[in-house]
Structure 1
Amino acid sequence: MYEAYFGLRGKPFQLNPDPSFFYGSRGHRRAMAYLEYGLHQNEGFIVITGEVGAGKTLLVRSLLEKLDPGKIVAANLVSTQIDADDILRLVAASFGIPSKHLSKSDLLLAIEAFLVSTTAAGKRALLIVDEAQNLTQRAVEELRMLSNFQLEDHALLQSFLVGQPEFRTIMQSPEMVQLRQRVIASYHLGPLDLAETQAYVEHRLTCVGWKGNPAFDAEATKGIFAFSQGIPRRINALADRIMLAAFLGEHRRVSAEMVDQVTAEMREEHVIPQSTTFNAPKAGNPGELAGLVDLQRLLADPEAAKALAGAGQGFDAARFEERLALLERTLSTTLNAISQLIGAAQQQAAGSDSGAQTK
């Protein structure tokens, strides 16, 4: 609707993952590096987790576009509450292996024959499972068993497991010890920081021919970051509405006031999920809120956090990243709730002022 008005070739903030819009933030570049490292290893599991809307699916699609089909046969499976009875058939279907009416034993033989023939042809088989947190324990165990297929000393299948943060908790259960032993690398994809949020917005606009119209004030970008908490999908949803508001108001500049107006509308529409109960910072204590913001910046840079923690010999990186992910989720919920409380207070104050003026 607004594309022609601003001279854009297309819609810059669509929610559907499109690899042509991939933005390599620090976190996304590192996650991609882990995936590429896994490809070179040609064995085991790579685990990537992140919040809803963090860009995991886009990351996977960007990787798939970079793969050489003459060398790697890749299958992308999006799981939805899949149990062990279905996971093998879905894996077979993803690789194009006929599986109708096959018993489990015959299905396993068919998958193994496909993997052997793929390796014999000089190619490698890669299975990517998105939304892995929906897999049951038995389904995960079936995937682990597939990793046992070997030809001499070469693994026939490599798997990438991509899911929401709760998948990290699932993996820490005692029943998952054998899977954990097969994981060669894992990474949690965190939110963008303020500078990356600005660069992300400009990157998506530039992809469709943006020439600075509309311009974004610095305070407007801060408002986008505060509302979205650096989650790319939330940034897309908000920025799209801002562009629409600028078009309807015939504005060529996006101001902080415009962002505040749009975010207030989106809160009323419940576009951002309601947060859970939390202990908010005490009123009149800006130091606590500033501390949360500083902590959010620290969470955006895990390497700096490790340095601050005194990471050295004997440092348990996996445990540290697990605790960091938990802290990040808690902080995200807290900041979201604070933002909603501030918005409600502003609306109440505005109502009070209006009532006073009518008296």
Structure 2
Amino acid sequence: MPREDWYLHYGLDRDPFAEAGVQGLFYPGGARQESIEQLQHLARFGDCVLLVTAAPGAGKSATIEQFVAQCAPDTRCAVVEVALLDGPEQILRRILAGFGMAAEGSANLAHDLQRLELFCAQCHDEGLLSWLVFDDAQHLHVDALGLLAPLLERTGGRLRLLFFAEPGWEAVLREVLPGTVVHVIGLPAFDREETLAYIHYRMKTAGLEAEPPLNASELEHIHLWSGGLPGRINGHARQALVEALDLVQRPL
């Protein structure tokens, strides 16, 4: 059996720890669903800027996808994946695109800010909410950071800002938005039981009908090596299963 087809040995129909080509996978444990529900509530009824912090591999992007999927029909939600070199003009163009607005001529900061302001005002008049999510916000260029205060000022509280970033970025956000209330939510690493439940969930979605074929020692090592971060659990769990298969198939 080719190494890339290792999962067939375990009766699975695909690699349970691969993200590519699989839609809708979301493990709600580890406070992930609770965090989404809290964000939904605060975005709808609060008036503060929202910041979600988590280490790389903790599942920020997956949480964003599920957050957007759970938005109510009266919500217009744009997601901007921040690139390192994006200036304010590029970021604003991507915000407009996220809300379904086509570009008009070359980038013009004042004109595009006015378009966003009018969009948010129109949504408000129609009883709609406007939410803007930044993924990997820690990559926001210093020039792009200067766009945040005008965004809040020009939209008059009609645009809710949500940031997903790595720990430590909170100080940057508070510096560029002085006087603004920032509510911070952390995505914690999984504990041992949650790590096991996550592995079981991933394998079950790929066709596993029994308990994960990993012993207690292997599961303990996966948890320790991964630090309880789902992005790292994927790699370590796959490696453990492949290595176990190699041992079985190794000739005597």
Identity, % of aligned positions: 22
What is the CA deviation profile of residues 107-146 of structure 1, one whole-angstrom value per residue up to 9, with x for unaligned ones? Answer: 1111112222222333211111000001134423312321
User: Paired residue for 1:131?
Assistant: 136
Q: Secondary structure at the match of 1:243?
A: helix
CA distance in 2, matches of 1:234, 1:47: 23
Q: CA deviation at 1:57?
A: 0.6
Q: Is the 8 A contact 2:40 2:71 kept in 1?
A: no
User: Paired residue for 1:177?
Assistant: 178
1:104 is matched by which residue type in structure 2? L
User: Paired residue for 2:220?
Assistant: 222
Q: Secondary structure at the match of 1:245?
A: helix
Matched, 1:164 2:157: no
TM-score under structure 1 length normalisation: 0.62
Q: CA deviation at 1:171?
A: 2.9
CA distance in 1, matches of 2:148, 2:167: 19
Gaps of 5+ in 2: none
- Equivalent positions of 1:25-64 (< 5 A) are 25-41=29-45, 43-64=47-68
Q: Secondary structure at the match of 2:197?
A: helix
Higher RCO (C-alpha under 8 Å, 6+ residues apart): 2
Aligned residues: CA RMSD: 2.4
Distance 1:133 1:144, change over 3 A: same
Higher helix fraction (1 or 2): 1
1:141 is matched by which residue type in structure 2? G
- Equivalent positions of 1:286-325 (< 5 A) are none
CA distance in 2, matches of 1:96, 1:139: 21
Aligned residues: 243
CA distance in 1, matches of 2:243, 2:145: 46
Q: Is the 8 A contact 1:19 1:62 kept in 2?
A: no
CA distance in 2, matches of 1:26, 1:205: 17
Matched, 1:90 2:94: yes
Q: Is the 8 A contact 2:93 2:107 kept in 1?
A: no
CA distance in 1, matches of 2:37, 2:25: 18
Looking at CA atoms only, which structure, 1 or 2, has the larger radius of gyration? 1
- Equivalent positions of 1:1-359 (< 5 A) are 1-16=5-20, 20-41=24-45, 43-68=47-72, 70-81=73-84, 82-99=86-103, 100-150=105-155, 155-173=157-175, 175-178=176-179, 181-183=180-182, 185-212=183-210, 215-250=213-248
CA distance in 2, matches of 1:9, 1:64: 28
TM-score under structure 2 length normalisation: 0.85
Misfit runs of 4+, over 4 Å: 15-19
